[in-house]
């Protein structure tokens, strides 16, 4: 048994259910102990009490550092890792000019394998232990991602990206081939170790009704795979979708007709959501991946977080990567905070709420809330050791924080990848900074 000693934060309860500033919003131990046995959390609490009850445990002294549950990236595209940083574009022209030419290069298997290695390392080195990942439009490249993910030890839900309309013809497939190749990938990778499969129609804009039917068939034939797609990201996209499916009252109605927006689904963005769509997502138990950096960078709009929270929709955080500003869910939490400060109907956020969105909400989006997301005894020991660099502004801010809540807020404000020292999944080291 190992006993990790550090300041420990987690959110076993949903802090959005209590008023901002309520002490029940977060569990924290300034001198905390996390006892890990066979990859599971055996206990989490005050260090001294756990030490006394477990004299045989091997202590790991991380005082001065902070332990958080593993971070979850609920929406991220593996083939876009090299095209982060395009400025001044909006969704549809960015896809055509920047993202999709790079996604076409995934037809080259060696290129896809190298990209997959780069991608999983980027996740782990930013403290991400689990992610919902858009694969490639090519089955072999998607398999390359699963292989890299298996080697990395991370929890990855991913799938073959499906399109048969608009976008680039070289990225198109047929509904029959989409079904066959997805089913083959499910057989090879779903529930292999820490991997999960997610059926992945790119978005209604780039899929025909027979393709959506193929996705529905995959969800019916495989009762525990997940689904990921995009919805209501950009105003021009929303208009095009509603125009193409005249029977649909709104964007969500397209997915609803094919049973694609249920409690196994993660819908990315939902910026331009009407109250009716938010209520229907809540009733269906679908999760939303909120990608604030991407929404700002592509000028997509202001995410109505408050309306989602009030309706009871699970809102996790996603980096989106190509459209966003890079990896790291702590940074994404900061972006959520900043964009809500400027939103017309803002949702108040603080360290506890951001931590919940970065961990527990992501676990729920993955369908893994019984397994990961906090440090309740029995859960998997997935965690991030954050330690400010000596002499850094973050070190000073944490040391001088008036209370633990302020220290956690400083972590969201200031912690970059240089502060991520060690990352574990089920107790296994998946990243160590080496110093």
Applying CB under 5 A, which residues contact Zn ion?
268, 320
- Determine if residue 137 is left, alpha or beta; phi over 0 gives left, psi from -120 to 50 gives alpha, anything else beta: alpha
Q: How far is CA 9 from CA 35, 46, 184, 210, 405, in A?
A: 14, 12, 41, 47, 9
Please identify, using beta-carbon distances, which residue of 14 and 302 lies nearer to Zn ion: 302
Closest approach, Cβ 242 to Zn ion, in A, equals 20
Helix axes 139-152, 175-189, angle to 10 degrees: 20
Please identify, using beta-carbon distances, which residue of 25 and 320 lies nearer to Zn ion: 320
Q: How far is CA 374 from CA 6, 368, 401, 416, in A?
A: 15, 11, 23, 22
Closest approach, Cβ 76 to Zn ion, in A, equals 8
Q: What burial class does residue 142 get, using C-beta atoms within 10 Å of its C-beta: 0-12 exposed, 13-18 middle, 19+ buried?
A: buried
Task: Please give the backbone phi and psi of residue 29, each rounded to the nearest 5 degrees, phi first.
Answer: -130, 115
Please identify, using beta-carbon distances, which residue of 50 and 298 lies nearer to Zn ion: 298
Q: How far is CA 101 from CA 62, 83, 137, 254, in A?
A: 45, 10, 12, 27
Structure tokens at 281: 């997502």
Task: Please give the backbone phi and psi of residue 95, each rounded to the nearest 5 degrees, phi first.
Answer: -60, -50
Please identify, using beta-carbon distances, which residue of 297 and 384 lies nearer to Zn ion: 297
Please identify, using beta-carbon distances, which residue of 74 and 363 lies nearer to Zn ion: 74
How far apart, in whole angstroms, are the C-alpha atoms of residue 370 and residue 62?
27
- DSSP, collapsed to helix, strand or coil, labels residue 67 as strand
Closest approach, Cβ 216 to Zn ion, in A, equals 21
How far apart, in whole angstroms, are the C-alpha atoms of residue 287 and residue 292?
16
Closest approach, Cβ 215 to Zn ion, in A, equals 17
Please identify, using beta-carbon distances, which residue of 230 and 307 lies nearer to Zn ion: 230
Closest approach, Cβ 228 to Zn ion, in A, equals 9
How far apart, in whole angstroms, are the C-alpha atoms of residue 350 and residue 59?
31
Closest approach, Cβ 269 to Zn ion, in A, equals 7
How far apart, in whole angstroms, are the C-alpha atoms of residue 154 and residue 148?
9
Closest approach, Cβ 426 to Zn ion, in A, equals 28
Please identify, using beta-carbon distances, which residue of 261 and 419 lies nearer to Zn ion: 261
Closest approach, Cβ 80 to Zn ion, in A, equals 8
Please identify, using beta-carbon distances, which residue of 256 and 320 lies nearer to Zn ion: 320
CB 131 within 8 A of CB 123: yes
């Amino acid at each position: 048994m190992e006993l990790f000693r550090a300041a420990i934060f987690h959110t076993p309860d949903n802090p959005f259910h209590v008023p901002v500033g309520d002490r029940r919003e977060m569990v924290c131990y300034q001198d905390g102990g996390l006892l890990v046995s066979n990859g599971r959390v055996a206990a989490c609490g005050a260090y001294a009490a756990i030490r006394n009850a477990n004299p045989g445990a091997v202590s790991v002294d991380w005082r001065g550092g902070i332990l958080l549950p593993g971070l979850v990236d609920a929406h991220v595209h593996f083939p876009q890792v090299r095209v982060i940083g395009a400025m001044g574009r909006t969704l549809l022209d960015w896809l055509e000019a920047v993202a999709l030419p790079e996604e076409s290069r995934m037809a080259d298997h060696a290129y896809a394998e190298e990209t997959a290695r780069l991608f999983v390392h980027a996740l782990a080195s930013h403290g991400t232990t689990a992610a919902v990942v858009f694969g490639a439009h090519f089955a072999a490249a998607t398999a390359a991602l699963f292989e890299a993910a298996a080697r990395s030890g991370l929890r990855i839900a991913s799938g073959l990206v499906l399109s048969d309309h608009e976008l680039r013809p070289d990225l198109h497939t047929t509904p029959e081939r989409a079904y066959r190749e997805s089913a083959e990938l499910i057989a090879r990778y779903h529930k292999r170790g820490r991997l999960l499969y997610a059926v992945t129609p790119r978005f209604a804009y780039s899929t025909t009704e027979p393709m959506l039917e193929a996705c529905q068939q995959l969800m019916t034939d495989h009762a525990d795979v997940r689904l990921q797609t995009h919805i209501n990201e950009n105003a021009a996209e929303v208009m095009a979708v509603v125009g193409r499916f005249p029977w649909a009252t709104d964007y969500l109605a397209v997915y609803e007709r094919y049973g694609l927006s249920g409690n196994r689904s993660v819908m990315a963005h939902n910026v331009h959501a009407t109250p009716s769509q938010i209520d229907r997502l809540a009733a269906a138990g679908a999760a939303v991946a909120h990608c604030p950096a991407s929404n700002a960078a592509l000028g997509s709009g202001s995410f109505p977080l408050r309306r989602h929270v009030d309706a009871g929709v699970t809102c996790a955080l996603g980096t989106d990567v190509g459209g966003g500003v890079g990896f790291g869910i702590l940074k994404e939490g900061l972006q959520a905070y900043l964009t809500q400060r400027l939103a017309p109907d803002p949702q108040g956020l603080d360290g506890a709420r951001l931590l919940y969105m970065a961990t527990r909400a992501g676990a729920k989006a993955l369908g893994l809330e019984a397994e990961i997301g906090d440090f309740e005894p029995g859960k998997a020991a997935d965690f991030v050791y954050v330690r400010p660099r000596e002499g850094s502004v973050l070190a000073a801010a944490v040391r001088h924080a008036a209370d633990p809540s302020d220290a956690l807020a400083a972590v969201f404000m200031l912690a970059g990848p240089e502060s991520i020292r060690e990352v574990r999944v089920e107790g296994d080291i998946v990243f160590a900074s080496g110093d």
